[in-house]
Structures are given as C-alpha cells and as structure tokens.
Amino acid sequence: MTFMAVNHVLIGISGGIAAYKVCEVVSSLAKRGVEVRVILTRSAAEFVTPLTFATLSRQPAYTDADFWQPINGRPLHIELAEWADVFLLAPVTANTLAKLAYGMADNLLTNTVLASSCPILFAPAMNTTMWLQPTVQENWQKLLKDSRYTAIAPTDGILACDAVGTGRMAEPEIILEYLESFLFTQGKRDLQGKKILVNAGGTREFIDPVRFIGNPSTGKQGIAIAKAAIHRGATVTLITTSNSPLPMGEAPPSVRVVRTSAEMHQVMLEEFPFADITIAAAAVGDVRSKITSDRKLPKSELPLNLELEYIPDIVADLSKRKRPDQILVGFAAQTGTEQEVMVAAKDKLIRKGLDAIAANAVNSSQTGFGTDTNQATFINKDGKFLSTPLCSKLELAHRLLDFLL
C-alpha cells in the first residue's frame, strides 16, 4: 500500500471468534506507518485482549471501561469519532449488526459509530444459520442502503463451529485492500448500478498440450481494476487466465477463466453487450502456431521453423460492436523511451477506436510484468491525458476509474 501512511484508521471489534483475524490487519497497518486505534466490545475482549491490540497498534486499545475517561478533556467517543478517517467494524456480530441498523448506542463502540461522520467499512461474521435468519438479512440489507456503510460480505467455508456455509469473515488481505481503496476514495460508491467488464492475464497459444507461445503477464493489474470497481459498488465480470478470487462486494462478481486468445475472444463477445465500461487489461497474444497437436509431440517431431498466423484483435472487434453509451478502454504495454511509449499508445487508441488507453512501460523493474507497483499515462479520444505517479496497482486502478468517470 502506497498512500496510507498519513491516515487514521479506527477499528471496532465485536465479540466473535473472527476477532483473531483483526490482529493481522492492525499489525499490517501499523507496520506501514498508519495510525490505528482499536475499540473492543466487552465480549470481544473475551476473545482477544486489549493488550494484544495495544501492542500491535502502538496505541491504547479502548473498552467500555474507558467510556468515561476523556481524551484531551473531551468525551472519548467524540474524540475517537472525529479523529478517524475510516472506521472499520470487524467482525460485526448479529447483535452489533442489529444495533447499527437501528441506530442503537449502548456501548463505547456503537456510541462512537453514531458520533462519527467518516465512511464505515463493515465485515460481518457469524454462524451460517444465524446469518441466514430473515431478521439478520433485513438488518444487513438496511445497512447496505446507507451511503456511509460499505460491506465486506462474509464468505463460504468451514466455520469455527464446524458448520459449512456462508458466515466466514473476509480474510485480512481482503480487508486491507478495501481499506486501501477507502483511504483513496473516501468510501464513495460512484459505480453502483454500473456493470464493469475487465480482462486480465496473458493468453497461451498452444503448440501441443504442454508447449505454448505466451508472455509474462500475471494479470495483477487487471485483477486490481476489478477489485477497485467492486470496492466502488460496481457489478464486475472478470475474464482472466488465472483463477483469481475477488471480494464478494454488494453484488457478487463473475469470474470466467480462459487460457487462449480464442477463448478470451469468445467470452468477451458474450459479456460485452451487458457492460457499461469495458477495460481490456489482458496481454493477449499477437501470433499463434498454424498447426497444433492434441498430443505431446516428441522433441524429434517439433518443427524447427514454426509457421505462425496473426491472432484476431479482440479490442478492435469490440470497438466495431460498441454502442454510443459504452466506454471501451485498452492498455498499451510498451518498451522504450517515454516518448516511444506515448506514440505507440496514441496510435493504438486511434487505430482500435478506443475511448481511452493506459500507456505503461514494461521495461522497468517497478512497472513490468508481475510487479506490485505500476505507473501509467491515461489518454482519451479527446486528447485529455493524465500521468500517474509510481503507485500500487490498486491505486492505479482507482486513478484510471477516476479518469474515466
């Protein structure tokens, strides 16, 4: 994460076994220089002690016993509420979910929620049967309608009670990504109601079942774009060459895994008509072998002169089918000088009939394939452009979405 060091994150913990996962969240934030403060309910302190969170955050951890102990002469819940840039509630139990839905304030945590005005990120966790109760679902849906709240939906799996189903709190990595997005967007959900189609990863053009022509793309940037869109409330479809799980968000995303350019082309054509914004971040192959085998070829049978053919251009094909209300965005992964990268990107923008393009140099150890950071220049068809600083791929994704909106 590259833009969190000056921010204040307040974390409220309810009494569930998933409280142990929040230790990693607090530790990770503190190690990155983020100021973190923690509030525990009385039952939360039965699972993880306040001392643990105080040690991990390098700050005091507060409980109901501290309610009437002022900070700087001011009530504790007011001071904490005004201090926070983002309020993370994790885990949120059925009891706390009900209190939040109805504006109840009977402990330090819920009083601080009502006294705060910052965006709130909340991650429920409970037994599957409890989660599926109509009253719990009603409270869940009620909070989703509140613009201050953004949900990190529970996932499926084996729960602490040995039940199998929905109710697991999101993993720390997912929560940290949401926080990174929140601290950049301030919790805005400006893509609610929008359908975003993204492709990601490098295609493989097979010569036989074990040999292929490919490229080093890992799909990290495309996956980051899909995550950023989910964090902002979009309904997302990701077409990827790797099976990459996405956060559930408010609308469950669709992930379709492909291998070859032909498979990706077909699936993109199927999904494109439903998309408001399509971002083609995949590194699709340019050529493939004219002859392929359905069995592994012995070394002696491998052709030393491989006859190739061009692969149909997916983005150019989508451009021909684009409606006026759709936005189509491409990526230009180039090598060379900054000027050479820009010239190639502008050529692709015009030649392929795109609405915008992201030009990025891949001949750098910090912006090449497989890196966690990236830098790009965005250009639209009207000539507007924006260059980003070197940043995380999630931040770059948000900057691209801001450029398009």
- Token code pair at residue 196: 């975003």
Annotated binding site for CTP: 286, 296, 312-315, 331, 348, 352
- Token code pair at residue 174: 């997912």
The yes-or-no answer on residue 161 being catalytic is yes
Exposure string for 20-44, b = 16+ CB within 10 A, e = fewer: ebbbebbbbbbeeebbbbbbbbebb
Annotated binding site: 286, 296, 312-315, 331, 348, 352
Is 239 buried (19+), middle (13-18) or exposed (0-12) by CB count in 10 A?
buried
Is 82 buried (19+), middle (13-18) or exposed (0-12) by CB count in 10 A?
middle
Residues recognised as catalytic:
161
